Chains A and B, each alone.
Chain A
Amino acid sequence: MEALRLYLKLIRISMQARMQYRADFITGMIGVIVLNVVNLGLIGILVSRFTHLNGWTIWEMVFLYCLWILGHGIYSLFFWHIRTLEDYLVQGTFDQFLLRPVSPFILFLGREVQYLGVADLFFGVSGASLAYTALGLRWDWVKWMFFGLAIVSGTLIETTLALMIACIAFWTGRSRRVNSLVMQLNVMVQHYPVDIFGYTFRVIVTGLIPVAFMNYYPALMLLDKLDRNSEWWWLGYMSPAVALLLVGVAAGVWRLALSRYASSGG
């Protein structure tokens, strides 16, 4: 609880620092929204010309895209700066987090907020609502609960993956490029249903770098696309479990990384 209070306080300070740059804020929001509209526009043109993509109609694709961006929006709002960890390590400024009598993790997390996540969330909520109406969905409370859980799981999956990759820098000094690579996988999963890709790719994004659990598998469940005859149908419910597992692993990696930290003496 103490940690949470501290975190919220740090976040408030970071937010105030951010709000000094109003113009940047507005162009940034517009940039993010244009980017997403164009992305969805391209997908929309393709899918509408061919009526569907491997059984996914245009609004199901919009839902898939927006489910991803909702989880990602929360991630980019609060955890985006995890990828900048290497800068602290290289410049030796990481020491400041270790000198205080509270968790260095909380101090690092509270360091920044990335306001652009707001644009992602705005886009995700609008897109998902439009898709919900267009698809004529009628969810009971179980599905609504699962929808919320899926979003939070998405955030946790992306955050823990980002954290583990950032920890590579404790050993090598650099990690950001690996992060961009995982981001690339992420973008593929965000844009297209995983079932159009080859077997190896599906195994990678399910078992190795499980980004497919951010949107694809929960979307199967939420859109009633689960194939009960397939022996893998239960993956549609697994996002929260995958997220919890990753949190455990990431916490271990973080602790291990901290224990071998040697300051570069900035």
Chain B
Amino acid sequence: MKIFWSFARQAFHNAAVYRFEFWMRFVSIFLTMYSIHWVWRTLYTQRPGAFGVSLEQMVTYGLLGMALEAFLDVGPEWYMAMQVRSGAIDTDLMKPLDFHVYMLAMSTGEMLFNLGVLSVPALVMGHYLFNLQLPPNVSTGLLFGISLVFGYLVLFHLGFLLGSLVLVTLDIRSISWAYYSLVSFFAGQMVPLWLFPQFLRALAEVLPFKSVYYIPMSIYIGTLAGESALQAIGFQVIWAVLLVLVSRWAWRQVHARLIVQGG
């Protein structure tokens, strides 16, 4: 645990240097929340209570999707790509720490920091400006929290796998556009899965991505409750474990054929 905190402290120091950067990110979160709020408001004026979900629930879902992104997505793939490109990855590999654990610790530190300085303030702002609802009761809030942890683990490992792939192909920028848009689509970050057409829904239901946004956020607004909420968390756990195993296996493969440029 200590190692997570030391990385979080490091992230804090980095961010304190780029204070302007921070404010810009915050304004940008504000703008996305603002637009999603108006989109749902307009759609629900046309058709109140569509698909058995109230406007308050739907707006809450949309705003959460924007606020959670700020801390869930720490993007280990960018760090990995940068280290390979500059050749500095060999110093990471020399550390007396398993590389996967090292990346997880570093990302988690950054995640905790972003949670504190970006997501929580964004949620408070969403609550006062755009009517973001609180979870209906404590147990729902608790389930939401648990589900978020697994959502984070799934997203981190997807990123780690992409990063490992990048070590082989040496290019991330263009792959990342396709990757991010597909993840956010199938994760239901903006549009929940219950609005998807049949075949896309069927696909989204089995892919791991819905663990990241759709499951935690549906638990939060109460469309996934009781038995089905627990089942959904079970789905997340299975994918998280699976992705940890695959990540470790993939990293061993990549490590064996890693080419360090200069350095």
A46 touches B195 (CB 8 A): yes
B178 touches A35 (CB 8 A): yes
Separation of A174 and B197 alpha carbons in the complex (Å): 45
Separation of A39 and B181 alpha carbons in the complex (Å): 8
| Residues of B bordering A, CB below 8 Å | 20-21, 24, 27-28, 31-32, 34-35, 38-39, 42-43, 46-47, 50-51, 171, 173-178, 180-182, 184-185, 190-191, 195-197, 200
A31 touches B174 (CB 8 A): yes
Question: How many contacts A-B (CB < 8 Å)?
Answer: 87
Does A230 interact with chain B (Cβ within 8 Å)? no
Does A45 interact with chain B (Cβ within 8 Å)? yes
- 16 A–B pairs (Cβ distance < 8 Å), ordered by A: A23-B171, A24-B174, A30-B178, A31-B174, A32-B174, A34-B178, A42-B190, A45-B200, A46-B191, A46-B195, A49-B195, A50-B47, A174-B20, A188-B35, A191-B35, A196-B42
Interface hits, A107-158 → B, CB 8 Å: 116
Interface of A is mostly: helix
Separation of A241 and B197 alpha carbons in the complex (Å): 43
A52 neighbours in B (Cβ, 8 Å)? 46
Nearest residue (CB) in A for B184 is A38
* Closest CB in chain A relative to B17 CB, distance in Å: 13
16 more CB-based (< 8 A) A-B contacts, given A28-B173, A45-B200, A46-B195: A28-B174, A34-B178, A35-B181, A38-B184, A49-B50, A49-B195, A50-B46, A53-B39, A53-B43, A116-B174, A177-B21, A181-B31, A184-B32, A192-B35, A196-B42, A197-B34
Interface hits, A25-47 → B, CB 8 Å: 27-28, 30-32, 34-35, 38-39, 41-42, 45-46
